[in-house]
Amino acid sequence: MTDNSPLLGVNGLTIRGGGRTLVDDLSLAIGRGERLGLIGESGSGKSLTALAIAGLLPTGLRAEGSLKLDGMQVIGARERDLRSLRGRASSTVFQEPLTALDPLMKLGRQLAEPLRRRAQRDGERMSRDTLLRVIHSSLTDVALPDPDRIANSYPHEVSGGQRQRVALAMALATNPLLLIADEPTTALDVTVQGEILDLLARVVAERQMALLFISHDLAVVSRVVDHVVVLKDGVAVERGPIAELLRSPEHEYTRSLVAGARAFDDALGRIS
């Protein structure tokens, strides 16, 4: 692998299903340590793009084009090869923290799963004590208070914000090169949302991880990423550095997003 090819290179990605084109000729690139936002309303194909990167499109949907992750072509790859790519090259945090965690498994055990897999991948042998210590430190890393209690709880026993922190810890556990965050704060209330965003920005910067942040909310995206791609009905309508986009949006749709974000900010400003 040469160093100047991006970590994630999407070229002409087209996803079709049920006689409709859901994502149309999408191209984007993320280099190591870069942070990109993918913005669009629901149904614009953002989440499908995230699933396509993991090679996990639902049956009945077909992807065309080129999608290279860490030098490997994902589209058309065999499940076996994809499995070794997942976790190592990328992992995902989902929108709904309650459904993204197994309701019958204590959080510590769920977190142990990817941790153990990473140790196996790196050829390390992990004793039970080490594993417990790593679980503890992973939960501390995502700023969870009382990690031992959390590790011993079932998902429904902790709050939504805490669940999302655990989900983030699980995604980080495999130490991926690219973290995909699919609307990770949408299901949370505004104050918790802010905390999670700050946390996300911090851990990604600390570990020099690349980030693909998917959201419908420009205000949220602007807090964590440098560049943005705006998606509407499966087509990328505008792209560029976030500051520039906020200053002078060109596409009409982006303008409505910016106006919306401003109005929201103003409303917040009046409150605080």
Partner 1 sequence: MTAVVALEAITTATRRRRSWTLVVGLVLFGLVLATAIVSLFWLPYDPADTAGSRLEPPSLAHWAGTDRLGRDLATQLMIGARIALAVGIGSVAIGAVIGITLGLVAAFAGRVLDDGVSAFLDILIAFPTLLLAMLIVAAQGASLWSAVLAIGLAMSAIIARLTRILAKRILALDYITASRTSGTGMWGIIWQHLLPNVWPTILVNLALQFGLSVIAEASLSYLGLGAPPPNSSWGRMLKEAEGTVLTAPIGAIAPGIAIVILVLGLNLIADGLRDIGDPLRRVSARAVPAPTTEGPR
Is 30 a binder of partner 1 (CB under 8 A)? no
> x-or-dash pattern for partner 1, window 159-188, by CB under 8 A?
x-------x--xx-xx-----x--------
Please give the Cα distance from 184 to 45 (Å, whole number). 16
Q: Which of 133, 149, 255, 262 binds partner 1 (CB under 8 A)?
A: 149
Q: How many residues does the chain have?
A: 272
Is 94 a binder of partner 1 (CB under 8 A)? yes
Please, are residues 47 and 2 in contact by the beta-carbon 8 Å criterion?
A: no
Please give the Cα distance from 264 to 46 (Å, whole number). 22
> x-or-dash pattern for partner 1, window 212-231, by CB under 8 A?
--------------------
How far apart are CB 141 and partner 1 at their closest, in Å?
16
Is 91 a binder of partner 1 (CB under 8 A)? yes
| Site for partner 1, residues 37 to 56, rule: CB under 8 A | 51, 54, 56
Q: Is 264 exposed, middle or buried (0-12, 13-18, 19+ CB in 10 A)?
A: middle
Please give the Cα distance from 124 to 11 (Å, whole number). 36
Is 269 a binder of partner 1 (CB under 8 A)? no
* Cα distances (angstroms) measured from residue 67 to each of 27, 78, 140: 9, 14, 35
Interface segment toward partner 1; rule CB under 8 A; list 64-72, 86-94, 125-133, 203-211: 86-94
Number of chain positions touching partner 1 (CB under 8 A): 40
How far apart are CB 251 and partner 1 at their closest, in Å?
31
Q: Which of 16, 32, 68, 106 binds partner 1 (CB under 8 A)?
A: 106
How far apart are CB 40 and partner 1 at their closest, in Å?
20
How far apart are CB 86 and partner 1 at their closest, in Å?
4
Is 102 a binder of partner 1 (CB under 8 A)? yes
Please, are residues 178 and 90 in contact by the beta-carbon 8 Å criterion?
A: yes
* Cα distances (angstroms) measured from residue 154 to each of 15, 133, 180, 244: 37, 19, 25, 44
Is 116 a binder of partner 1 (CB under 8 A)? no
* Cα distances (angstroms) measured from residue 190 to each of 72, 155, 194, 205: 38, 21, 6, 23
